[in-house]
Each structure stands twice: as structure tokens, then as C-alpha cells.
Amino acid sequence: MTSAVTSPPDHAPAPPVPSARRTGRWIDEWDPENPAQWDAGGKQIARRNLIWSIFGEHLGFSVWLLWSAAAALLAKVGFAFTPLQLFWLIAVPNLVGSLLRLPYTFAVPKFGGRNFAVFSALMLVVPTLLFAWFVQRPDTPYWVFIVIAATAGVGGGNFASSMASINFFFPARLKGTALGLNAAGGNLGVAVIQFFLPIIVGGAGAFGLVKASQSGIMLERVGYLYAALAVVAALTAYFFMNNLSAAYSKPREQLAVVKYQHTWVMSFLYIGTFGSFIGYSAAMPLLIKINFFNQPVPTIPGIGINFAFYGFLGALVGSLTRPFGGWLADRFGGARVTLCAFIGMIAGTVLVMVALAQLDAVPKPPAGAPAPDPATFQYSDAVRAAVDHNSDIFPWFLAAFLVVFAATGIGNGSTYRMIPLIWKAYATQAGPDGTPARVAAERRSTKEASAVIGIAGAIGALGGFLIPITFSAPWIADPVDAVKSAFVVFTAFYVICLAVTWAFYLRPRSVMAKAGV
């Protein structure tokens, strides 16, 4: 079916009518800023596309962060990877996902948001089936797992195409909320996979309410489940979403935004907000396991804090606060909210460092000592005392870390609200209101803002790669010390982001401060 939303006369708002301009679910002459058109059916169309966009993006994020939850369980199914190797397994999908966000952004204006939503959903079948096949084979070389983990990066690309598409459906006054909801629905995919994966595969979870299966861990289950859900997402996109002719542009036109200074400033700030969210989300299960859990070999019951009980909470909090950040930005201004978000991230990371400084070192077996016998093994009093002490510190660590996650979510919502306003401010410089030059600039600004959202999303997602790699820090022998050093680096970076936000968007005489960004 092909349809068009036309600009109706003021006295008779018209609903969408058929058009024969091209085949497929295309809508021509879309103008959400036209109140009559918006009330005559545009609102319902926009909401329907938003709902199914959220569903597809949600699955994309779950697949993207699949390895973040699975890595901590690989030892239980026979894989003997080091902490450094595990951090690389959760970092590589983030690197690939960040690189894919640029072509995924440019694909929406070229092929249509609905058409590309179908394609991007089907692409999720590849990493999920590869995951399901190879986690059943403990003799698989490590490099094969790196390649398989890289394919999960396609889930990260979904975010860029989804956001670029939804940006065209809503009027400026609702973009902050719409983009915030779309992104939050995707971000929740991280919390969902981290919460449900241990349960689905037969491990303990849900704060201990679900006990581990007696038949052992079966990681392949989650791969098959998400492959099936990806097919469902492709079908819902095919039947219920739309392409917009108004979104069409050539990649060369979109790439023109690289000449704007604020493209790069916002990309830098997005490393601090979204890069932190996705990086911390990916690393949190392993961080809990390294710092608060002790298990010499998988066949011996571990002691301390089980990551499966709490590893999903950070992503959940960050996801829920993202639309709140968009709403706050709509009400108080994106730059002000972003500034407050970085203040919260600085305070949170400082508190995390204070908590980590209280941890006791857990005694390790002597180098070269034989593997313990599960039948006779007992934890020493010194090991139990250290693990118990660290478990008492865990609530403070978790609370501080959740402050960081809440701030990243708010910052994610507010930064994405800033981008359309920045490009609207650029358009106002084209001439007086109502002039042909001004009208053309305002139409162009929506396309350029979508391109910037994609570029900022791609660069920002690099934080999801850099954060796990910094935590692993191969130049620091002790993984616990590496984690402590990493938070010092992150805190310093947030101070820089704070200064950049004020200098470019809140400094009293700056152009963007006058524009109310």
C-alpha cells in the first residue's frame, strides 16, 4: 500500500490519501509542523512508527550487548579465557557497532526508514545463530569468538538508523520526548539481556529468586530465542512502519555536516554520555565478578556477590532516565541539563573510587600451585574474611555506580535534544522568518540534524569500546588495580566535558546560549 500525507487547507484537515508516486509504504509531503496535518492522522502514524521502531531497536541493543552478559558465564561451559580476553569480547561488538552507525544513518534517507528497519532486523539473525552454534564447542579458538562477537556489532547500528528515521516523524516541540523514548526503549534492551540471559540459559538470577538449573548452563538457548525475535521484528517493520519521502537525501548532502563545528563538539560530548552508558553497561557484570566474587574453578561454588543478581541494574537505571533527560531538556534547555548530568557523573565516579579504595585484596593461590580438588576444597579464613568485607562494601559501590548510570541516561536524552535546536539556530541565520532562504534552511536543518545524530551516535559509541579496554589495562597486572585507575581517567574526562558544555552552549555571550540550546 502506498499513501501520502498532504498539507490540507486550514478549514479542512485531510487524512492520508493514496499516492502512486512509488511503490511500498511511502508517505509523501510529510510535515509534522503543520497542526492540521498532524491532527488529521499524522500523530497516529508517527506513534505507530515509534512503537515498532522501539521494538526493533530494543532487540538490536540486546544482541549488541549479548556478550556482556555471556562473557561472565563462559567459564561455566568450559572456556578458560582470561579477564583481559573477556573484556575484549565485550569491547569488540561496541567498536564494530560504532563504525556501522554511519552507514546505517545514511541508509535511512537512501532506502527509507521502514525498508531499512526490515533489513537491520534480519541482520540480527547472523550474530545470534553464530553465538548459539559456537558456545556449545569449548574447543573453539579464541580468535573465532572475537570474530563472532564482532558480528554482534550490527545491533549497535540499529540505533542510528532508528533514530535517524524517527527524527523526521515528530514536530520540533516533541522531538526531545520522542527521541528519548525511542532511545530508552533501545537502551532497555541492555538491561533485559543482562537480566534474563542468566535465567534463560539455566543460571541463577533475579536477585537469587531463580535458582541455577541442575542440568547446567545452556548458553545456546538465548541465541536461538533472539534469532526468532529478530525475524518477528522484521515482520512488524514490514507491515506496520513507513518510509518518508521528506527524509530522502544523498549521502554527500548528509556528509556536508562535517563542516560544522558543533557536529564535532556534540560528538565529543556524546562520548561522555552515551559512550559511558554503553561502556559501563557492557563492563558491569565483569566488574562485579572481578571485584566482589571469588571462585577458583567453575566446579567449586563461588562466594561473594553474584553478578547475575545485579549486573543489569545499571543499564536499567540509565535507560529509564534517558526519556526523563529528554523531557527535562524540552522544559529547561538541553545544555543546562547536560551540564548537570556531567556534574552527576563526576560525583558518581568519585564515590565509586571511594568505594573501591575500601576493598581488601583477596589472597591468591601461590603461582604454579595445582588446581584445587572440588571434592576436598575449602576456602581459607583469610579469603572468606576478605570476600565478606568486600561484599559489605558492594551496596555502596552499587549505589554510587547507579548515580553514574542515572546521569548518563539524563545526559543521553538532553544531548540528543540539543542537536535539532543547534541546527534550528543555524537555520535562523539564513534570513528573516518566512523568506524562501529561511524556509529552505529550516527544511534542510531536519535532514542535517538527523545526519549529526548518526555521526554523534557513531563517535559516542566508541566509548563502549574504550571503557572496557581501559578497565582491562594490559599494562597493569592486577585487574582490580586496573579498574581503580580507569575511574580516575573517566572522572578527569567528565571534567573536560563539563567545561566544553559550558564554553560552547552556556557561556553568556555565545551564539548557542542566545539561541536557548
Most confidently modeled of 85-99, 205-219, 373-387, 458-472? 85-99
Looking at 15-19, 66-70, 73-77, 227-231, which range is the least confident one?
A: 15-19
pLDDT of residue 408: 95
Contact 40, 15 (CB under 8 A): yes
- CA-nearest of 243, 232, 221 to 121 is 232
pLDDT tens-digit readout, 292-349: 888 777 677 778 888 778 888 988 999 889 888 888 888 888 899 999 999 999 999 9
Q: What is the CA radius of gyration of the chain?
A: 24
Looking at 83-92, 198-207, 331-340, which range is the least confident one?
A: 198-207
CA dihedral 263, 246, 155, 234 (to 10 degrees): 180
Tell me the C-alpha distance between 285 and 73, whole Å: 10
Tell me the C-alpha distance between 77 and 311, whole Å: 20
How many CB atoms are closer than 10 A to CB 322?
32
pLDDT of residue 24: 56
How many CB atoms are closer than 10 A to CB 339?
20
Angstrom CA distances, 9 to 3, 213, 421, 443, stand at 18, 64, 28, 20
pLDDT exceeds cutoff 60 at 48: yes
Q: How many residues does the chain have?
A: 517
In the numeric block, the cell 499516492 is attached to 19
Within 8 A by CB and 6+ apart from 467, the residues are 275, 276, 279, 280, 282, 283, 486, 490
pLDDT tens-digit readout, 152-162: 999 988 887 88
Task: Give me the amino acid identity at 112.
Answer: G
In the numeric block, the cell 526531545 is attached to 176
pLDDT of residue 68: 85
For residue 457, what are the β-bridge partners? Answer: none
What b/e string do you get for 177-202 counting C-beta neighbours within 10 Å, with b at 16 or more? bbbbbbbbbbbbbbbbbbbbbbbbbb
What b/e string do you get for 245-257 counting C-beta neighbours within 10 Å, with b at 16 or more? bbbbbeeeebebb
pLDDT of residue 69: 83
- CA-nearest of 94, 198, 181 to 458 is 94
In the numeric block, the cell 537525501 is attached to 249
**Which three three-digit cell numbers place residue 513?**
546560549
pLDDT of residue 208: 58
pLDDT of residue 47: 92
Contact 501, 273 (CB under 8 A): no
Contact 51, 182 (CB under 8 A): no
- CA-nearest of 108, 50, 52 to 236 is 52
DSSP β-ladder status, 26-27 and 243-244: parallel
pLDDT of residue 177: 77
pLDDT exceeds cutoff 80 at 115: yes
Most confidently modeled of 75-89, 176-190, 216-230, 303-317? 216-230
Contact 280, 463 (CB under 8 A): no
Give DSSP secondary structure letters for 140-197: S-HHHHHHHHHHTTHHHHHHHHHHHHHTTTS-HHHHHHHHHHHHHHHHHHHHHHHHHH
Three-state SS string across 44-78, please?
HHHHHHHHHHHHHHHHHHHHHCHHHHHHHHHHHHC
Tell me the C-alpha distance between 314 and 277, whole Å: 8
Mean pLDDT calculated for residue range 365-385 = 78
pLDDT exceeds cutoff 60 at 404: yes
Task: Give me the amino acid identity at 84.
Answer: L
Tell me the C-alpha distance between 153 and 63, whole Å: 8
Q: Which class does domain 3-362+382-514 fall in?
A: mainly alpha
**474 SS3 class:** coil
**Domain-by-domain residue ranges, the chain?**
3-362+382-514
pLDDT of residue 218: 85
Is the alpha carbon torsion for 381, 382, 384, 385 positive or negative? positive
pLDDT of residue 14: 47
Q: Is 369 exposed, middle or buried (0-12, 13-18, 19+ CB in 10 A)?
A: exposed
Look over the chain and give the mean of its residue pLDDT values, rounded to a whole number.
83
Q: How many degrees, rounded to 5, is the angle at CA 413 between CA 409 and CA 418?
A: 140
Total-model pTM: 0.80
DSSP β-ladder status, 3-4 and 303-304: unpaired
